[in-house]
Amino acid sequence: MPGAGPNGAHKVNGDHYIRKDFSVDEVLEDLTTTEKISLVSGIDFWHTASVPRLGIPSLRTSDGPNGVRGTKFFDGVPAACLPCGTGLAATWDVDLIQRGGALQGKEAIAKGASVLLGPTTNMQRSPLGGRGFESFSEDPVLAGNMSAATVKGIQSTGVAATIKHFACNDLEDKRLSSNSILTERALREIYLMPFQIAQRDAKPLCFMTAYNLINGTHASENLKLLQHILRDEWDFDGLVMSDWFGVYSTSEAIKAGLDLEMPGPTYIRGGQIDIALRCGKLLIHQLDARVRNVLNLVKRVLPLGIPENAPERTIDSPETASLLREIGSNGLVMMKNENKLLPFSKQKSTAVIGPNGAFAAYCGGGSAALPAYYTVTPYDGVRAKVPSAEYELGCPAWKRLPLLSNVAKTESGKPGMSMKFYLDPPSIKGRELIDQLRIRDTNILLSDYENPRVKTDLFWCDIDGKYTPDETGEYEFSCSVAGTAQVFVDGKLVVDNLTRQSPGDSFFGIGTVEELGSIQLEANKEYDIHVEFGTMPTLTYKKDGVTAFGAGGIRLGCFRKVCLKTEIERAIALASEVDQVIICTGLNGDWESEGYDRPHMDLPPGSDDLIEAVLKANPNTAIVVQSGTPVTMPWRDQAPAIIQAWYGGNETGNAIADVVFGDVNPSGKLPLSFPTRNEDNPAFLNYISDDNRVLYGEDVFVGYRFYDKTKSTPSFPFGHGLSYTTFALSDLTLKDSDDAITLTLSVKNTGSLPGAEVVQAYVSARNPSIARPVKELKGFTKAFLQPGESKTVEIAFEKKYATSFYAEGRAAWQSEKGAYDVRVGTSSASLPLEAEFEVAKTSWWKGV
């Protein structure tokens, strides 16, 4: 081995030492001020700074909440994609979610990352939140337990989990400047509680701050949030990093407790810290506190042995696929099944109809998106069980046209297109080609594109491919861009997103609307597709309140021009010819994404018409809805069977088919209430950044707490989910100790199939001194039983958590004297078993 370095380090390259271990105090003392300043900011989009002379390596971070993308939005290494957050929480299975977290940790190591940017632990105030699919639940106890399980799984591999976004980051509208105004009680009981539970039970090594303000102060410079609550009350001793580009001050953020600014190179620290130190706005011990936490994180992940700039690799395996399929199928929620329509028979003629049928809606958009090892469409999953199954589109329910890369080929006939990079625009004759790649995906984000010849975010690209349509007709091409672009078909300009541009919601909210153009094409004729693209600095407008990610991006789409009436007629004809129909409808990553919120709760145009028409044509129709958050269902009463399938990751289609055909008995439960209309949800009047102000007028009455209090009935209640078998709960007993409540009861499978039931326990204060929810979830467990089998199950929870509200006057939690009722059942609306206990004396507490 090359020569030894300080403190047991070994020399790996010249004078560059990588330590096996080190004393944080000694290194802190050895660091120069310049080195200290470098350590509290990233060096690029994903990496922290190193100190080579002292053997302190750079760390790699990676998104995200449902899979590990690696270091590239653009042309990245494929990965395992788990179901979205709501799909994970719908399992109500902490052991399974912990196994999923461990898979993410292993995937992170394969991608050379020692810090994983997840889980997302924000609350779902409204069905319209653009990133609602990333989070777990409307309930803080369920969200907290799912977060803790994920963190435990990730960190069991040695990888650091980063719980995010701390806090109140629950809408995308003006997310950098929106001020979340809420009571201290709502902040503590609803929005901080899942983070508090995760800190108590799993101790994440990292927290990530939110973009927004909380009661007038940005989260990244919020002393109360980062120091007084997180560190002082909860005893957090890890690292706090910013969300990407979510730092808005230098001295204030450092003093408040923000350790690491991401990404790099720094735009708010660096030289600004040096100035602040020289003028006394910042003292060296305040900087040292931040550096110490960075060094502590480096020390904690050193045992992983991940080298700097590690190559990214895949670890796709049958075991990975099996786990993803198990998680996906266990999170599907059978919301309705009249007359036992499901499961369908594999021996009967079957049709798959709907826009999500032949499209794998496997994840939402934004930071959660990643290139999957593979994806399985619902139609693929069904055909694996019923090879003769047929398909019809039914309606064009996409927000943006399907990707051009789905149908385009390169000059050599490979799937995808060719992308050429230049430092000069197309108008320059003889410009030099500096890079060329084959791209498999025409949703291109260049925020992390690297090339030694590219020194700024300004450059140009040509994208070329071939397309041969299957049928003659009019075809639409589309382009949305964070930059400028034009699309040519056989030399004819079809889409102009250069000379006229309209602000839209693409590319995290900075990009244009999707510009469309159409052209008549002939079947079986090959056409040349040519795109001229200029990067972000060429964008012709400025949009405030959104984050611009580097060089921007471009999204190219193509599909034959669709007539809704014709598509529905074709769907009706097919439905009339078969024994059973599966309608695959819902949303996708274009509708639900970081950067913007949904404008309404409805399915895409044409979807409801399609569903109603097919239901009339064939009553043996099951509706499978894919969305991360609730959608309206005006056909709910007519549909005999409804399954909520979320975004299911790599194994989306197989998981759906497993449940529809009964190979897996559904056991998922809703992690959030499904209102009938958006107007019914508790945040309806307040879910907007109105003049940069978001008023949390529903206070603590989020989700089912609101429906209980107002005695209103949602379409489907929190915790609801059906099975192909039946269960009976009995013999509830309650053990009351000084610190804990332990519930014991019997669960029996009274049906003919193996299955699982989620037992839920809610607590109510009988005579509270303040307005409290009618009941609140405090514990749950999932029991797997064979037909006829009985099991005794136990649900235990801390007494102080079960009984306390946050007393603002005392700035503490108050466990109030009096009687408490416990109700146990299988959803928030079905709680047949009851018990009670007493709190003898009012007490107050802080911390976890």
% of the chain with per-residue pLDDT over 70: 98
Q: Where are the strands (E) in 55-144, listed by range? A: 61-63, 115-117
Beta strand residue intervals within 167-222, DSSP E: 179-181, 206-209, 213-214, 217-218
List pLDDT tens digits, range 777-804: 999 999 999 999 999 999 999 999 999 9
User: Residue 13 has what pLDDT?
Assistant: 43
Query: Which DSSP letter does residue 269 get?
Result: S
How is residue 17 written in tokens? 């030492």
Domains of the chain: 17-304 (3.20.20.300), 350-398+565-709 (3.40.50.1700), 401-560 (2.60.120.260), 727-845 (2.60.40.10)
- Number of Cβ within 10 Å of residue 281's Cβ equals 16
Nearest to 393 by CA among 251, 181, 560, 589: 560
Least trusted range by pLDDT, from 513-517, 689-693, 794-798: 689-693
Two tokens, residue 328 = 């996906």
In the predicted model, what is the mean pLDDT of residues 602-615?
97
- Per-residue pLDDT at 448: 83
Residues 454, 514, 379: CA angle, nearest 5 degrees: 100
Position 567 pLDDT exceeds 80: yes
What mean pLDDT do residues 170-174 have? 93
pLDDT at residue 483 in the model? 97
Q: How far apart are CA 692 and CA 177, in angstroms?
A: 6
Supply the residues annotated as catalytic.
Answer: 243
pLDDT, position 16:
52
Q: What is the pLDDT of residue 598?
A: 95
The larger pLDDT score, comparing residue 110 to residue 74, is at 110
pLDDT beyond 80 at 10? no
pLDDT in tens, 325-377: 999 999 999 999 999 999 999 999 999 999 999 999 999 998 899 999 999 99
Mean pLDDT (the chain) is 95
Provide the 3-class DSSP secondary structure of residue 470.
coil
Q: By percentage, how much of the chain surpasses pLDDT 90?
A: 93
Can you give the pLDDT at residue 447?
84
**Rounded distance between C-alpha atoms, residue 621 and residue 127, angstroms:** 26
Q: How far is CA 540 from CA 68, 174, 445, 537, 653, in A?
A: 34, 21, 18, 8, 41
Instruction: Answer whether residue 6 shows pLDDT above 80.
Output: no
Residue 550: pLDDT band with limits 50, 70, 90: confident
- The pLDDT-based confidence of 108 (bands split at 50, 70, 90) is very high
Give the confidence band of 8 by pLDDT, cuts at 50, 70, 90: very low
Query: For residues 251 and 274, what is the distance between their CA atoms, to the nearest angstrom?
Result: 10
Confirm if 119 and 135 have CB atoms less than 8 A apart.
no
Helices 94-110 and 140-155: crossing angle in degrees, nearest 10, is 40
C-alpha torsion 319→76→592→325, nearest 10: -10
Least confident range from 215-229, 400-414, 817-831: namely 400-414
pLDDT of residue 3: 39
**Residue 542: per-residue pLDDT:** 87
pLDDT per residue as tens digits for the range 744-765: 999 999 999 999 999 999 999 9
Q: Tell me what the mean pLDDT of segment 56-79 comes to.
A: 93
